[in-house]
Amino acid sequence: MSGSLLERIQNQSALIGVVGLGYVGLPLIDAFVNAGFRCLGFDVDQTKVDHLLQGRSYIKHISSETVADWIAKKQFDATSDMSQLGQADVVIICVPTPLNDSRDPDLSYVESTTRAIAATLRPGQLVVLESTTYPTTTRQVMLPILESTGLSAGKDFFVAYSPEREDPGNAVYSAAKIPKVVGGLDPESLELATALYQQAVVSIVPVSSPEVAEACKILENTYRAVNIALVNELKVLFDRMEIDVWEVINAAKTKPFGFQAFYPGPGLGGHCIPIDPFYLTWLARRYGLTTRFIELAGEVNSRMPEYVVSRLGEFLNDMAKPIKGSKVCVLGAAYKKDVDDPRESPSFVLMELLLQRGADLTYNDPHVPRLPKMRHHNLPVMESQELTADFLAAQDCVLIATDHSAYDYDHIVKHSRLVVDTRNAAIGVVEGRDKIRKA
């Protein structure tokens, strides 16, 4: 059974099914299409499917021209009909794994997708989970659902975990150029998953089990969350001491060993760093342990939006203005520079806090022309405002939340009354530096 699938993988005749056509799924499809495979994309959002079938992309770093080329070459199709999952030789799951309201892992998308796969599961298929999750998910959550069909993993079908490593907006590290960690439930599953990704990805890192691969992803992002918390905490301390934390970091990173630069900000954003460490703390509680270090980092990072708004209020107070009634424009809705991805963006928290305090709020983001609806945020319908000289002059405060390269910071500072910079983005501005405050 595995030999037949292995042959189809090696000669690129295997049909690759990808469930979840978002910031992880589409770049993955691009990597497989470029390697010569045919791909069938699945998503419950019919609007996304329709856009793709029309050759239109909704993700900045996968262009519409790229999608149209997939279709023209007859290497891509998309559907919301999960009953077609049985057509695919390989099914890769790239669905969201958010936190629920009590900050526990929400695996409902993984579970519903696995049930859909089980409904059409046939002998000889390989199922790979890429969604970020806690160790044991593949074995304890997915496997029982798949084996409820009466088929046996490692004999009739094959299962592996390979964590996504996407970096939106970074052309240097596309999905095909990032080493891929792979853990199989059994030797045959590992062999198949390794052979699969070897066709499309620069290098493969096989590990002994899905649990190791799952833990690897959690470690990568927890490492970042903890170090960002450290510099965020130092930012608050150094600010009180009137020391520029960015200058300190830039000096420290000249050391050629033993130091990696991390930078403070208005909070954590994206689909991984604000979420993944809480998977680990939740799992630790199930094992009767507490991860105090990780939980403290989460507390520090989650306080940053409140700190930024507090400092903004102090800066406005110096101008004899309260936040209530003041015109405040937030620059950046995306969670990081030069992307259109708003997931878990601290900008949404900042905007909510400012509205709660009565600010007359607007925003600008060249990559997010209209605020999308978010599961955990309730903001009014807003559209990005053009940063004309007159518009900027009319604002009491401009808050830089995301340091997009498209921003003309000289223009912004020149025409603004007050600029609160959370990213050290306006460091190169000369004229009007007295208007800049850091937070």
Which residues, other chains included, contact 172 with Cβ-Cβ below 8 Å and sequence gap of 6+? none
Rounded Cα gap, residues 53 and 403, in angstroms = 33
**94 catalytic, yes or no?**
no
| CB-based contact 345:168 (threshold 8 Å) | no
SS3 content of the chain, % helix, strand, coil (to 5): 40, 15, 45
DSSP string, 281-339: HHHHHHTT---HHHHHHHHHHHTHHHHHHHHHHHHHHHTT--STT-EEEEE--SSSTT-
CB neighbourhood size of 148 (10 A): 12
| CB-based contact 80:44 (threshold 8 Å) | yes
- C-alpha to C-alpha distances, 159 to 17, 23, 198, nearest whole angstrom: 14, 23, 17
Do strands 419-421 and 436-438 pair parallel, antiparallel, or not at all (unpaired)?
parallel
| CB-based contact 280:290 (threshold 8 Å) | no
Rounded Cα gap, residues 168 and 175, in angstroms = 10
- Of 39, 94, 216, 272, catalytic: 272
Rounded Cα gap, residues 344 and 99, in angstroms = 11
Residue pointed to by tokens 């559907």? 79
What is the enclosing helix (H) or strand (E) of 28?
helix 25-34
- C-alpha to C-alpha distances, 101 to 105, 206, 225, 315, nearest whole angstrom: 10, 35, 20, 33
Q: Which residues are catalytic?
A: 272
